[in-house]
Amino acid sequence: MSQLTIKGGRRLEGEAGIQGAKNSVLPILAATLLTAEQVELRGCPRLRDVDASIRILEGLGCTARWEGENTLEVDTRSPGGCAVSEALMREMRSSAIFLGAILARCGQAELSYPGGCELGPRPIDLHLSGLRDLGAEIDDAGGVLHCKASHLRGREIVLGFPSVGATENLMLAACGADGVTTILGAAREPEIADLQNFLNACGARVSGAGTSAVSIEGGRPLHGCTYTIMPDRIAAATYLCAAASAGGDIFLRRAREEHLSTVTAALREAGCTIRSDAAGVSCACRERLKAVRPVRTAPYPGFPTDAQAILMAALLRCRGAAVFEENMFASRYRHVDELVRMGADIRVSGRAAVVSGVERLHGAPVRCTDLRGGAALCVAALAAEGETEISQTAHICRGYEDIARDLRALGADAAWAES
């Protein structure tokens, strides 16, 4: 397993390109099942979760082939199966996103129940109740989901919570349903709009993404397409927070500030100068950061839960104290103990975490507890004196193509080493 070594204490100066969005490409890979023609995905990030999704497609009798660094050719002309193995469901919790597309394509599906993950329980009750509303028969006894959908019918569905995955699953299933489906209470994340744009590029008629009411005109035959994945807003947030943490002046090509405005608002409040245009987003930070108003995670357009650990890491040496409230997942402070090993002063009580700024951080051997918690360790290590060795980096590789490469492009001293 690779270990990541970061030598802190250097200001960041440089420019990096932002990879394609993990949380957009995963539902889009599931969506390729809705057409029997080839799909070419450009700007497709090379991630462990993308590899897992490719294995799921291959397990369904499809093929996927890399053409160049970030172009993936997907061929779903002759899917042979409708089951996703337990091993793959355990490898990637978000595999549940394949359920709607498999049902729409094959009329049946068999997936083992995705268990919890590092962030706590990951229920899919909203996914299942919505699919049942569309006419799917789902037997979820015994840890395996046996699903049949001989005839999906479009209708109005109300989501009690704006679940990203449930919204995406229902959009995909609705493409295979007769008539119009309207999802009320839909998630509004930018990745939902990217999925809508992909589906419409294949000939679907989806509208409303970005609002809480998404409409899908089902039953339309979908063709192949060439599509470019949107830039990853959480990767962009990570590198903006890296510059805030270490100080410096960076530019992120392809980043789109409108997708992470709550994060840039917090960084501006902390004292960073953020500028953005069509080409990307820059961040300059010369002074010690100031504390910011309480950060409460919420569904989009609220503060993204995926950026909570990352912003926390940037604020470890702020003047004053910063309060975080994690409202999306039950166990999303597992990175705190590792940050405390580096000298941070963080107190957790239930959903709240209070970060009291310290004068100095010091490098230490730390381990990733989850994807964004691992990224947070990198952000903190840039501001720490000395060397930080980060292990269990497989978590980071689920969502970042090569975080060491990107940090080096921004002027950091970061390198992989086989441990």
In terms of C-beta density within 10 A (0-12 exposed, 13-18 middle, 19 or more buried), how is residue 376 classed? Answer: buried
- The residue from 306, 338, 401, 406 that contacts ligand EPZ (CB under 6 A) is 306
Q: Per CB under 6 A, which of residues 20..39 are in contact with ligand EPZ?
A: 22-23, 26
E-strand stretches of 218-260: 225-228, 248-253
Q: Per CB under 6 A, which of residues 93..122 are in contact with ligand EPZ?
A: 94, 122
- The residue from 127, 233, 254, 259 that contacts ligand EPZ (CB under 6 A) is 127
Q: Give the number of residues in contact with ligand EPZ, rule: CB under 6 A.
A: 23
C-beta of 27: minimal distance to ligand EPZ in Å?
A: 7
Given the structure tokens 């086989």, which residue do they identify?
418
Q: Is 329 in the site for ligand EPZ (CB under 6 A)?
A: yes
Nearer to ligand EPZ among residue 81 and residue 123 (C-beta): 123
Q: Is 238 in the site for ligand EPZ (CB under 6 A)?
A: no
Piece of 160-168, 313-321, 350-358, 384-392 that binds ligand EPZ (CB under 6 A): 160-168
Taking a C-beta distance cutoff of 8 angstroms, is the pair 1, 391 a contact? yes
C-beta of 190: minimal distance to ligand EPZ in Å?
A: 11
Taking a C-beta distance cutoff of 8 angstroms, is the pair 102, 33 a contact? yes
C-beta of 24: minimal distance to ligand EPZ in Å?
A: 8
Distance between CA 398 and CA 327 in Å, rounded?
A: 23
Is 117 among the residues known to form the active site? Answer: yes
Given the structure tokens 């999925």, which residue do they identify?
195
Q: Is 48 in the site for ligand EPZ (CB under 6 A)?
A: no
* DSSP-derived 3-state class of residue 68: coil
Catalytic residue among 82, 117, 147, 283: 117
Nearer to ligand EPZ among residue 265 and residue 358 (C-beta): 265
Q: Which residue's CB comes closest to ligand EPZ? A: 165
Q: Is 310 in the site for ligand EPZ (CB under 6 A)?
A: no
- The residue from 44, 399, 409, 414 that contacts ligand EPZ (CB under 6 A) is 399
Q: Give 168-225 as a 3 state SS string.
A: HHHHHHHHCCECEEEEECCCCCHHHHHHHHHHHHCCCEEECECECEEEEECCCCCCCE
C-beta of 280: minimal distance to ligand EPZ in Å?
A: 21
Enter the tokens of residue 259: 């997708």
- The residue from 163, 181, 196, 215 that contacts ligand EPZ (CB under 6 A) is 163
Q: Is 124 in the site for ligand EPZ (CB under 6 A)?
A: yes
Distance between CA 117 and CA 95 in Å, rounded?
A: 12
Residue 201 has phi, psi (to 5 degrees) of -65, -20
Q: List, in order, residues 6 or more apart from 25 with CB less than 8 Å away.
A: 41, 44, 45, 47, 50, 53, 229
* DSSP-derived 3-state class of residue 65: strand
Nearer to ligand EPZ among residue 259 and residue 372 (C-beta): 372
User: Residue 15's closest CA among 411, 286, 417?
Assistant: 411
C-beta of 29: minimal distance to ligand EPZ in Å?
A: 11
Residues that bind ligand EPZ (CB under 6 A): 22-23, 26, 94, 122-127, 161, 163-166, 187, 305-306, 328-329, 371-372, 399
Residues noted as catalytic: 117
